[in-house]
Chain A
């Protein structure tokens, strides 16, 4: 049975932490420069946030070390629920994105 013994060295966690700090710096820089329109800015920030969330989940939460069944069941079920949320709001959100944003 897979157990709590995670045999990676400590160095990887410091690298992940440094990467997360760096990505946070990039986000703050984008906010200070304000070169992007709100919708484009939202898209870029969301992509960076997903990358940071993936780093935290895979390395700090050790999802990378779990067996495939656990890993994919969690990822697919949560993503499916978010997709349902998006589908539920999609028609209205799409209308606003195309008609309402300056």
Chain B
């Protein structure tokens, strides 16, 4: 059967109001809405911090050194991410992948360091509804774990996102291996023994996306994933001083 080809005049499509492609606008809109989520959590934490003179200050020099190293990891990951975007723009696939892998390494290092910090605090008796330092300020644990946990989840999702962009289907066995190792290595009583299942959920969702819509990710996709990653870094620029530096025990 013959098909009719309709010529589409160029002027049929209006130029974008925002002067860029729709994927990027979509990501910016998502980030704007996500910034309000973090804004509300940061507002709640800072409000409680200022309103309670008896607010616990459990973060000694080792904790501050650890959090500073975590900050350096995220800042360095933003640098490698932007270098990855530059490599993608000039069509250099090998270096795009290398820079994305470096970004994932820094992101994973951040998550591991953060998990160690959480484990140390929980070992000292800190729980979402109580803490051993100030019985009159039970909201310290709740606000701390909600804020930093939400950020840790974003970093983990970001690492998976970059892995999909950098390695596509080859990333799935890596992710499943990481999930299995994480599940077997963490003690059964640890929160991370259950939290590591985020990797399994990520692997399933990534597999659905990669098999239903297989594609070779281009410079636009790298740039959009970079926007997400830089946002995760940006949020930490507020969490680090407000949570850690405002509660130091030096």
Contact = CB atoms under 8 A, between A and B. Distances in A.
B20 interface: yes
A43 to B, nearest CB: 10
A42 B220 CA distance: 38
Contact of A3 (B20, B79, B238): B20
Nearest to B53: A102
A67 B36 contact: no
Contacts of A97: 50
A67 to B, nearest CB: 4
B interface secondary structure, majority: helix
Contact of B18 (A53, A56, A70): A70
Interface string A78-102: 1001100110010001001100111
Interface string A51-86: 011001101111000110110011001100110011
A24 B68 contact: yes
A53 B238 contact: yes
A35 to B, nearest CB: 12
Nearest to B19: A67
Contacts of A10: 83, 86
A48 to B, nearest CB: 7
B28 interface: yes
B53 A81 contact: no
A52 B72 CA distance: 13
B227 interface: yes
Do most interface residues of chain A lie in helix, strand or loop, or is the interface mixed?
A: helix
B196 interface: no
B68 A82 contact: no
Interface residues of B, number: 55
A1 B16 contact: yes
A45 B242 CA distance: 7
Contact of A31 (B47, B64, B86, B220): B64
B86 A38 contact: no
Interface in B106-153: none
Contacts of B219: 4
Given A41-B246, A81-B39, A57 B20 contact: no
Contacts of A39: 50
B24 to A, nearest CB: 8
B32 A74 contact: yes
Contacts of A96: 47, 50-51
Nearest to B61: A32
A61 B224 CA distance: 9
A56 B233 contact: yes
Contacts of A2: 19-20
A69 B17 CA distance: 8
